[in-house]
Chain A
Amino acid sequence: EDTLDLQPRGEQITEGQLLSDPAAYEGLIAKVYGGITLGGQGGGDADADIQGIDGGFSSYTRNLWKLSELPTDEAVIAWGDEGIQDFQRQQWSDGNQYIRAMYSRITYQVALANDFLKNTTEAKLDQNGIQESDRVNIRAYRNEARFLRAFSYYHGMDMFGGMPFQDETTDPKIPGQLIERADLFTYIESELLDIEDKITPARMNPYGRADQATVWMTLAKLYLNADVYTGTARNTEVITYTEKVITAGYSVDTSKPYQNLFLADNGSNGSQNEFIWTINYDGLKTRTFGGTTFLTHAPVGGKMDAGNFGINGGWAGIRTTPQFVELFPGEENSADGRELFFTQDQTKKIADQSKFTNGFAISKFKNVNVDGTAGSDPSGDFVDIDFPVFRLADAYLMYAEANLRGGGGSTGQAVNYINILRERAYGNSGSNIAANDLNLTFILAERGRELYWETHRRQDLIRFNQFSVNGTWAWKGNVQSGITTPQFRDLFPVPAEQLNLNDNLIQNPGY
């Protein structure tokens, strides 16, 4: 028997070797962050975490983007990969590979966090001989692991309703029990509230790590959409938590162009002062075909010069709908500096979804620095742009919306916050709004103008009940003019694959 006991050699490390090394824990928490940043352990999503789909397609952020933006008025995609155009048509099925991958990514994040928490209990640290002096960091990581788990559960609740539940006390080999949407809300809320004062204070963690403000922001999101998730609005709490964020020291620089937020050096060009939490990318050290690499290459095509985007070529995929163009006064000639349409040889109308030149292109993400030089990867494949998950502008808009929805706070303050964004957008205060301009319709439109392509739109439209049964835009319902769709489209289906494997799950109605 003993002759058959071999040990792994090479790069892979066994549990015993790893966990007794205090330095390894940083790598383990980095992986929990890495799960939302990269496709796998190799550059360009090699050695992918998620199987059953291409490595680049498996990226958390890329799928989050597709599921949050393609079904809305903000984006259409030209490609023919199976199931991708079903998003803009709102006719996806429970076999859709991107929905499957998103679901797997969410549950994978939960599993990674659970695994980290299991391996870092005090008992386990004792067992592995980790010194007290090394435990300070590890304990901080534990709060971040819990945050990251709550953050992914929040995505799961938002997109799928209920989820199979696993935490560090459950056996990952036994399919999880279904936790219903409202219960999941309560769980996420309690986790976030519990770590709120344990996690590193706002702006005290290194850039890219979650901190107290990240928790606040997630809580604010949770409460803003609470009516959708639980049937009970929680707008007062939105005011509470956005106020905490707003007073934490972040700032919007109205003297700098909006575009700076989405450039290669957005981690250092001043934009970082507005960022509450980012997923960081680097053309040499954090290389993936998801994330901002996707967001930079995929919208470039037609007459757009890839060189101006700091990349070696476009992927000619994503554009926007005429209805989104019309959100900007003056449309492609809008004085609003957030209007970044590329229109040369592009038609505003979309006669053919598969033609890149149908629909205005958007040049929002650019892998060039403020000084115009390209990002760090000389091959032009991978970009440096950090993806802002949460930024102050969003907190401002949430504050204003919650105020309008009766959450309290000051309307005057809300107008001020919005005018900060508009002053940056217009370069002057000439287009500032007055208190009587502030209404919910305006908020939804302004969120579109300020936050488009930042993975907010699906959630926003659903909160405003404009996603399915109301609201039409090009190709919604698979007709050019757009038609409304049934309400069940507000949730994605549980992937058929998971329903098959886990009897506890129940398919969402309508699928």
Chain B
Amino acid sequence: SEDEEQFTLDTNQSRKLNLSPQSGSFVVTSDNRDQLAERFNWDAITLDLPVAMTYTVQVDSITGDYSKPYVLAQSSGVDAAINYSQLNDAALALGGENGTSLAFKARVIATTNDPTVKAIASDDISLTITPYVGYPFNPLYLVGAATAPGWDNGSGNDKTNPALFIDLEDNNVYRYTGYFNADEFKVLSSLGNWQPQYGGRNGKVGVNDGNGSDPDNLVAPAAGYYDFVIDITGVTNTSEGESSVTITPNTTAATAATYTSIGLLGDAFPDNGFGGPDINLIQSTFDPHQWSIRNLVVGSGDIKFRANDAWDTSWGDDTSSYIGQGSNNGDPNIPASAGTYNVFFNDLDGRFIFIPVEE
């Protein structure tokens, strides 16, 4: 309407806006993720005309300028209840690391539907957040007559099938160097269930996630040690994607040293420490180079593997809290993440994997 009765809004108004509380410190854990961390609140803004305002709580790094803020909450009201997982997402998106407390700043801005109306921002408040990162990997397990458990998908053996080791560079690549019978096998993702299952298809990897048809069995042509590598990139029920699978005889394993015991120690185990005693893994009866321990409670801190209760032979890797490959060459400690795990270790190539036990 080109009428003098138009309502004109000063698009450049300032108002005082306060975000409360002024500060807060939050430690995210696997248990408190769904719990309320803080109810942020502010006062409603009234411009010189009554228009609907939207409030956005933004978080940024201490040095940031909110040019790419993390939006913690939006509301048409005057408060926002935030739970720990939301803070966690914010902290991780802004460079936070698992278990490390880091300071951030936050503010609330008031806007209208049209961005040409200048946003009204509160002063910054400070937030300290210690984020928590969940388990980032998708473990796979062996099943089949060529392997230790035979054709038991875990439901008959209390889920003791050996885990594959995950490549540090490419998490879609799984490796397993060890002993196979001259027989067939497959790869499972959920112990106790037959699907999803991986196997061969058209020279690559196939999967049945439950809605497809089963892939072919994989085959170890003769009894002995093999390097088994399976890359499941892009595999779906109907496509083999960019996958590949190889099973190559390993010529050195048969003569490799075998150890009497392999144990875990470090300050992640407050009762043991780096002084011991070692928490011994269980040696596979099928392949003496495969070691595992179940339902191991781990605190936060560092961990190493060592053989024969001595530091002569030890493995570690600080690339990840959950997977790695040691080289028995003054390796760094493993930065443990507190939790309960099934741990698998292969002394042929020093690879290990910590798989959290679901409650």
Contact = CB atoms under 8 A, between A and B. Distances in A.
Check whether chain A touches chain B (CB < 8 angstroms): yes
Contacts of A289: none
Interface stretch (A65-73, A202-210, A229-237, A422-430): A422-430
B75 A477 contact: yes
A483 B210 contact: no
A335 B210 CA distance: 6
Contact of B210 (A426, A478, A480): A426
Q: Is the interface of B mostly helix, strand, loop or mixed?
A: loop
A431 B195 CA distance: 8
Interface string A475-507: 001111101100000000000000000000000
B77 A483 contact: yes
Contacts of B196: 335
Given A426-B195, A479-B54, A483-B80, A335 B211 contact: yes
Contact of A479 (B74, B210, B211, B236): B74
A478 B80 CA distance: 13
Contacts of B77: 477, 483
A464 to B, nearest CB: 15
A336 B190 CA distance: 15
A335 B211 CA distance: 6
Contact of B194 (A430, A478, A483, A484): A430
A330 B236 CA distance: 12
A484 B54 CA distance: 15
Q: Is the interface of A mostly helix, strand, loop or mixed?
A: loop
A184 B273 CA distance: 68
Interface in A317-334: 330, 333
A336 B211 CA distance: 8
A431 B210 contact: yes
A427 B212 CA distance: 9
A483 B211 contact: no
B295 interface: no
Given A428-B194, A483-B80, A337 B74 contact: no
A431 B189 CA distance: 13
A335 B194 contact: no
A484 B80 CA distance: 9
Interface string B225-253: 00000000000100000000000000000
A479 B74 CA distance: 6
A478 B76 contact: yes
A427 B193 CA distance: 13
B145 interface: no
A157 B209 CA distance: 43
A330 B77 CA distance: 34
B280 to A, nearest CB: 31
B71 interface: yes
Chain B CB within 10 Å — which of A333, A478, A479, A484 has the most? A479
B211 A426 contact: yes
B73 A483 contact: yes
B81 interface: yes
A214 to B, nearest CB: 33
Contacts of B195: 335, 426, 428, 430-431
Contacts of A430: 190, 193-195, 210
Contacts of B73: 479, 481, 483
Contacts of B210: 335-337, 426-428, 430-431
Q: How large is the interface on A (under 10, 10 to 19, 20 to 34, 35 or more residues)?
A: 10 to 19
A39 B290 CA distance: 70
Contacts of B194: 428, 430
A428 B75 CA distance: 44
Interface in A376-391: none
A344 B303 CA distance: 45
Contact of B211 (A337, A477, A480): A337
A480 B74 contact: yes
A478 B55 CA distance: 11
Contacts of A481: 71, 73-74
Contact of A477 (B71, B76, B193): B76
A428 B208 CA distance: 11
B76 A479 contact: yes
Interface string A407-434: 0000000000000000000111011000
A260 B194 CA distance: 25
B81 to A, nearest CB: 7
Nearest to A426: B210
A483 B74 contact: yes
B75 A483 contact: yes
A335 B212 CA distance: 9
Interface string B48-89: 000000100000000000000001011111001100000000
Interface string A285-307: 00000000000000000000000
Interface in A325-375: 330, 333, 335-337
Nearest to A479: B74
Interface string A11-45: 00000000000000000000000000000000000
Interface string B121-154: 0000000000000000000000000000000000
A484 B190 CA distance: 36
A272 B210 CA distance: 25
B230 to A, nearest CB: 19
B209 A335 contact: yes
B209 A479 contact: no
A330 B80 CA distance: 29
Contacts of A335: 195-196, 209-211
Nearest to A475: B74
Interface string A218-237: 00000000000000000000
Nearest to A481: B74
A153 B198 CA distance: 53
A273 B251 CA distance: 61
A358 to B, nearest CB: 16
24 contacts: A330-B209, A335-B196, A335-B209, A335-B211, A337-B211, A426-B211, A427-B210, A427-B211, A428-B195, A428-B210, A430-B190, A430-B193, A430-B194, A430-B195, A431-B193, A431-B195, A431-B210, A479-B73, A479-B76, A481-B73, A481-B74, A483-B75, A483-B76, A483-B80
CB-CB nearest 4 A-B residue pairs: A479-B74, A335-B210, A430-B193, A335-B209
Interface of B: 54, 71, 73-77, 80-81, 190, 193-196, 209-211, 236
Given A335-B210, A481-B73, 14 more contacts: A333-B209, A335-B196, A426-B210, A427-B211, A428-B194, A428-B210, A477-B75, A477-B76, A479-B73, A480-B74, A481-B71, A481-B74, A483-B74, A484-B81
